[in-house]
Structure 1
Amino acid sequence: MARISIIGTGNMGQAIAGVFGKGGHSVQLLGQSDAATAVNGDIVVLAVPYAAVASIVAERRDSLAGKTVVDITNPVNFETFDSLVVPADGSAAAEISKLLPESKVVKAFNTTFAGTLASGVAGPNTTTVLLAGDDADAKAELAGAIAAGGLKALDAGSLARARELEALGFLQISLAAGEKISWTGGFGVVA
C-alpha cells in the first residue's frame, strides 16, 4: 500500500486521487496554499500548472528529498497555445529534476485528461498512463499504484522521453482547445 500526496486540488488532482483511492492507497490531497502542511507520501504528485512548480519546489525542496516526485505538467504557453515554454531539447520534467536532484522524478498523467482518468476509459480502451523516468523502482511502484486503480501504465523509457510525452500532451490539449476532440477524450494505446 503506497502513501501518496497530491499537491493540487483541481480536476487532475482529484481525478488522480480517485485512481489511487480505488487502488486502496493512502491519499493526501493538498492545495497549493497548504504549504505549512507536511507532505506525508512517499510518492508526491505535482498536479499543478507548470508555472506554479518552481514556487512549490522552493517551499518543499527538503521534504521532497528521497521521494518519488511525479510531474504531470504540460508546459504549454497558455497565452498563445502555439508552443511549449521549455527548451526544444528539454522538458518540464527535466527542469524539475534539476531543481530536485535528491528526488526521483517521473513524468506521468500528462497525456490523459481528468475525464479519462475518472472514467477509466479513453473511447473503448482502458485509460493508459504513460511514464518516463530514470529510476526503475520509482516507475515500477508508480505503475503498480496506477494498475491497482484500474488503469494501464506503460513505461515509455528514461526521463529524456518526457520531451515526447509533453509534445503528445500539447497536441492533445491543442486538439481539445480547437474543439477537434472533447476534453473527455484522449489517445489510446492498443497493444
Structure 2
Amino acid sequence: MNITIFGKGNMSQAIQGNFEASGSKINVVTRENDAALGDIVVLAVPYPAVDDIIARYGEQLAGKIVIDITNPLNFETFDELIVPADGSAAQEIQAKLPNSTLVKGFNTNFASTLATGKVADAAQTTVLLASDSADAKAKIAEALTGSSLNIVDTGALKRARELESIGFLQLTLAAGETINWNGGFSLHK
C-alpha cells in the first residue's frame, strides 16, 4: 500500500517504521518537499499545522483515508484542549475535508512505544482507531498487519473526543514526570 506521512518528527518516524514493517511504500512530505499522495495519508504534525496542509493539499486529499494523530493541546498552558468539549480536532478536520475519510489514530501513543511495539517494555502497544468508515479502519489495520502493534476499532469518529482526552491525559502525565515517555495505555483481550 502507498502511505504518505506529513511531518518528520519522532512520531512520523515511528509510524513510518510500522507501515514499512508491513511492506508499505512510504512517502514523507515536509515543508521542504512536495510529492504525490498515497492511499492513506497520516497527519503526523502538531494540530496548528493541519490548516496549512489542508490549504495546500485539500484537493489532493479528496478520496484519501486521512489519519489524524493530533492532540489539540493548548501548548501555552499545557492544561486544556483547544477544541469544544463536545467535539474533537478530528471532527473539525473532517468538516474541512468533506471528501476525505478521516480516522483518528496514534494520538494515544508515544513515539517510543510505537517504535518498540511495547508499553513500558512489557505490554503490546495498542493503537486506537475511530472513524465513521469501518472500511478505512480495516484498510489501516491491514496496512499494519506486519507490525507489532495491536489495532483496536473504538467506533465512530465521535469517539475521537475520548481518544483526544486520553492523549491529553497521557501527555500531561508524561510532561509532569508521573509516567515515562515509554509508558502509556495498552488493552488486552
Q: 1: distance between equivalents of 2:36 and 2:125?
A: 28
1:40 equivalent among 37, 44, 69? 37
Q: 1:161 to 1:54 in 2, by over 3 A?
A: same
Question: What is the DSSP-based 3-state SS (H/G/I as helix, E as strand, rest coil) of the residue aligned with 2:42?
Answer: strand
TM-score by length of 2: 0.97
What do residues 13-53 of structure 1 show as CA deviations (whole Å, max 9, x unaligned)? 0110011011111111111343xx23331000000000000
Question: What is the DSSP-based 3-state SS (H/G/I as helix, E as strand, rest coil) of the residue aligned with 1:154?
Answer: strand
Q: 2: distance between equivalents of 1:32 and 1:161?
A: 31
- The answer as to whether partners of 1:32 and 1:56 remain within 8 angstroms in 2 is no
Could you say which residue in structure 2 is the equivalent of 1:20?
Answer: 19
Could you say which residue in structure 2 is the equivalent of 1:71?
Answer: 68
**Which ranges of structure 1 fall in alignment gaps of 5 or more residues?**
none
Aligned residue pairs, count: 188
Q: 2: distance between equivalents of 1:32 and 1:126?
A: 33
- The residue type equivalent to 2:77 in the other structure is T
**Which ranges of structure 2 fall in alignment gaps of 5 or more residues?**
none
Could you say which residue in structure 2 is the equivalent of 1:87?
Answer: 84
| Superposition deviation, residue 148 in structure 1 | 2.2
- Matches for 1:160-175 after TM superposition, within 5 Å: 160-175=158-173
TM-score by length of 1: 0.96
List, as ranges, runs of 4+ consecutive aligned residues in structure 1 with deviation greater than 3 Å. none
Could you say which residue in structure 1 is the equivalent of 2:184?
Answer: 186
- The answer as to whether partners of 2:27 and 2:35 remain within 8 angstroms in 1 is no
- The answer as to whether partners of 2:29 and 2:35 remain within 8 angstroms in 1 is no
What do residues 63-100 of structure 1 show as CA deviations (whole Å, max 9, x unaligned)? 00000000000001011011000010000000000000
Answering whether residue 95 of structure 2 is matched by residue 101 of structure 1, we say no
- Matches for 1:99-138 after TM superposition, within 5 Å: 99-123=96-120, 124-138=122-136
Question: What is the DSSP-based 3-state SS (H/G/I as helix, E as strand, rest coil) of the residue aligned with 1:60?
Answer: helix
